[in-house]
Amino acid sequence: MEADFVIVGAGSAGCAMAYRLSEAGASVIVIEHGGTDVGPFIQMPAALSYPMNMSLYDWGYMSEPEPHLNNRELVCPRGKVIGGSSSINGMVYVRGHAHDFDHWRDQGADGWGYADVLPYYKRMESWHDGGHGGDPSWRGTDGPLHVTRGPRNNPLHAAFVEAGRQAGYPVTQDYNGEQQEGFGPMEQTVYKGRRWSAANAYLRPALECENCELIRGLACKVVIENGRATGVEIKRGGKVEVISARREVILSASSLNSPKLLMLSGIGPAQHLAEHGIEVVADRPGVGQNLQDHLEVYFQMAASQPITLYKYWPLVRKAMVGAQWLFTKTGLGASNQFESAAFIRSREGIDYPDIQYHFLPLAVRYDGKAAAEGHGFQAHVGPMRSESRGNVTLRSADPKDAPVIRFNYMSEESDWRDFRQCLRLTREIFGQEAFKPFVKHEIQPGKDLVTDDELNGFIREHAESAYHPCGTCRMGRADDPMAVVDPQARVIGVEGLRVADSSVFPRITNGNLNGPSIMVGEKVSDAVLGRGPLPSDNAAPWINPNWQSSQR
């Protein structure tokens, strides 16, 4: 079993790379531990809370007890299925802010500024604005990844945007275009009523080529001979086999599993590897460090009118929505229901947004476990650029063991200040005139929680991961001791080995990470093929002219 390129992980970046490398005529083998993504729970957008809680599709990882969050262990879903986490995520599509990528560049990821990544976003997208506005010159029109907008039929979606406007914030027609800051429509990776995962967009077309093959198995380690990666050892059907790579091995196994695989292969902090009896191939202290995520709370309001999605909560109604979707791919089942969004700045002196809102016309937990007291609606809200950093380490030298995941959430004082500000700004938005016809009362946090201490207590008990882990194999210059890969995504200190997924992010981007992860796969594939990068695009993003003196 051998190919030019062996890719570990059929997730967001891995699928994109399989497509681009096989399209160029190279032979590719993709190794994926998970199984098929066929079935209504994955393909039906409104069923998104199911697959991320099914052991069939999810690795089932948990964080270690988080010391600043009442020692809670937080769930950390990662896709164990064709399409990876793009098959179990909320399908929200956000590119990230232009300044996120300029920050990457300035931190040593040369060639990854906004001008460098914008052409790849355009190459990968097929954008459908649905008549909702936006500037097509910022968007792609013929890429594999279809990006659409929900119908926004529920009056609460318009109320959310109008409330933002009344509170003094800008309105934006396209947060993925020139202006991220403001309130407006949310975008989703949904096409013709189906989840448009990386598997549907990239892997299926790639597998139609005879030079691309998918192998089911658990990757155990990268085989390294004389300092060069030559293949991947996998376990399948109880047997251990080696899949050989003639040219390169590429790890796209997620920000949790890519560092784990590097460490199992002898690449990582030497002392940590020695503790587990693993021979050191390359002492890279940054492997598994720099772990970042977005933390959020659900700010919930009870509704005074029965117009929310709660009316579809009873099983019979859910079945009707499901049946309509199954036969026609239309109706409520055809959207993730996140159809309005906002990006705002928490205070003056910050030049681009650091708070994100997902608005949902239903008060419910993300995992679908509990709907709040009848009709309600909610905004998922949290700070975008927490200063807290965690790490991923090995539990043992056994590839079957889950890694040890320590996010170390809320370990910086600035995180508490920023999170309290999120809650207070949200309360103000829900208090605007536009919501008056719809608001009954605040469910959570609850209007009685107003002091810093009270809000801190609510955050400690109720903050949840937004499921955006990244940063554990940070990209940087080859002489940076904490960098794991160079700007071509090559693992520093080993030949023939790259990492391409969200673990290479130097710093977390604004918003959801599926878009940037696919972009990484697209851009790295050109580097792998020895092609020059696409010509840079110097379109200048909108920055609030009064950012130094005003919060909105």
DSSP 529-551: TTPPPPPP--PPPP--TTTTT--
90 is in an annotated binding site: yes
Amino acid 315: pLDDT: 85
In angstroms, the CA 75 to CA 91 distance is 19
Amino acid 314: pLDDT: 87
Residue type at 488?
A: Q
End-to-end CA distance of the chain: 58
92 is in an annotated binding site: yes
Judged on CB neighbours under 10 Å (0-12, 13-18, 19+), 258 is buried
Identify whether the C-beta of residue 3 lies closer than 8 Å to the C-beta of residue 18.
no
Q: In order of start, what are the domains of the chain with their CATH numbers? A: 151-185+295-383+411-462 (3.30.410.40)
Q: Whole-model pTM? A: 0.97
Backbone angles phi, psi at 199, to 5 degrees: -70, -45
1 is in an annotated binding site: no
Task: Give yes or no: 468 in active site.
Answer: yes
89 is in an annotated binding site: yes
- Paired strand residues for 465: 295
In angstroms, the CA 252 to CA 7 distance is 7
- The alpha-carbon radius of gyration of the chain (Å, integer) is 22
In angstroms, the CA 74 to CA 76 distance is 6
Amino acid 49: pLDDT: 87
Identify whether the C-beta of residue 552 lies closer than 8 Å to the C-beta of residue 167.
yes
DSSP string, 297-358: EEEEEEESSS-SGGGG-SHHHHHHHHHHHHHHS-SGGGS-S--EEEEE-SSTT-SS--EEEE
Amino acid 369: pLDDT: 67
pLDDT in tens, 240-282: 999 999 999 999 999 999 999 999 999 999 999 999 999 999 9
Amino acid 366: pLDDT: 64
Q: How many CA atoms lie within 13 A of 513 on its CB side?
A: 29
In angstroms, the CA 355 to CA 385 distance is 8
In angstroms, the CA 409 to CA 418 distance is 13
DSSP structural state of residue 490: B
Residues of the chain falling short of pLDDT 50? none
DSSP structural state of residue 444: E
In angstroms, the CA 342 to CA 172 distance is 9
Amino acid 62: pLDDT: 98
286 is in an annotated binding site: no
User: Which one of 103, 157, 294, 468 is the catalytic residue?
Assistant: 468
Amino acid 134: pLDDT: 85
In angstroms, the CA 286 to CA 267 distance is 10
Please list, in sequence order, all residues whose beta carbon lies within 8 angstroms of the beta carbon of residue 88, skipping any fewer than 6 positions away.
42, 48, 51, 52, 57, 58, 77, 79, 81
